[in-house]
Chains A and B, each alone.
Chain A
Amino acid sequence: MTETTKARKTREPVPHIAAALALGDDALVLSHRLGEWAGHAPVLEEEVALANIALDLLGQARVLLSMAGDEDELAYLREERAFRNVQLVEQPNGDFAHTIARQLYFSTYQRLLYAHLAAGDGEFAGLAAKAVKEVAYHQDHAEQWTLRLGDGTEVSHERMRRACQALWRFTGEMFQPVEGLDVDGEGIRAVWLESVSAVLRQATLDVPEGPQSGAWSAGAGRQGLHTEPFGRMLAEMQHLHRSHPGASW
């Protein structure tokens, strides 16, 4: 970074709104999906763990969305096409294996991203420094469960294999450039792939087909193109807020 851009940054601390929305929406949407587990988790300890992760993500979302505007207006009054989250996080919970595969893929990415942002001096450094510690726990949680399910019983192995396979095509999108975010997507992708592959192998699972084979579709959530289940999710999330225009809660 040159001296002039550094100076300009300190003079005008205008956050990168597009980037704040992208990262904020990722956290908001995944938190919402995890919140759907409440009362349905396979074991009481996981009620606590999944809620913990959902709460961390919601906290991150609130900080990020507030950098871009009013958190509630952004969460509750935007249309589906205005959301900038990757498609991975909006995917329905499915069975516990699907939720864990989604967690593994996303938390590994988020940890790498936040570690990078925390090391810089941009608008997101403060948030990232705090969030990277939370996300380290999310990643550990996902890795532990990937091992248990992959290397548990025949049934769990098969379920985990299917989940990793089904969600794989949503992973490429995480490494696309995000407007306003100074990160090396390709660099993060390489480390991500190495890290996820190592966990999957340890869990006796095959690494799903990679980009080389052309099976790694990128998705376009960052451009506001989402998958069908997302509209329903938003309808549920926004309904009450929208039913009382201008009310405060």
Chain B
Amino acid sequence: MINLNAISLVYQKELKALFKSSLIYIVASLFCIISGWLFYNYLISAQEFTNRTIDQLVIAPLYGNINFLFLVFSPLLTMNSFAEERKNHTLDLLLTSDLTEMDIILGKLLGMMTGVCFLLLLTLIFPITLSLSGHGNWPVILSNYLGIFFCTFCYLSVGVFASSLTENQIVSSLLGFSILMAVLLMAASGGITKNYIVGQIFSYLSTPFHFEALSRGSIRSYDFIYFLSFSGIFIYLTFIKLISRKW
């Protein structure tokens, strides 16, 4: 059912469009400024503590915040994806071709994921700096990257879904952001509720709960099951939205 050839045609188109647009560069510069500033601050404040490690003082909060930045920027990266195809009527072109709805969705998501990897590459400067001064704990750092990668894949699939619902880019990014916020707030509700089981369910459903384990360097298979089912659900919803024109 999945045709790599077809996906790669959409992927290449998306990638070209992404790196031709100014959006990715604006996001990249904002992203660098904010994360650089955070890194610098965590380093400075780390000097005041002597009883804790760099892992706890710099790496964990830094990557936690980078993950949050991706949550904020993802709806911006995806707001164009289907909204623009609708506005320019090019969705008609794709849907009357050999491409299937799934080819289109996956090609777009992978294109966006490549953009995200580009942003992540820029952040490699932080662990490199750390390891030059002898503080690079690479297993934990890599597990953080793994966590951000999978979390962002989830954020992007939400964003792509939001974009498939409307022609309007602003509405699309606000909608994507709201869904992500709701998922994030589930973690908070999980902490508040007195009922243990309900609390556990809420935490399990929220992304931060799963990122947190990875950010400590603990790799548990059920976190990946969560990430894949989370993004799978939103990919499927987008698919339903696209084929619903046939009903």
Q: Indicate, yes or no, whether A interacts with B.
A: no
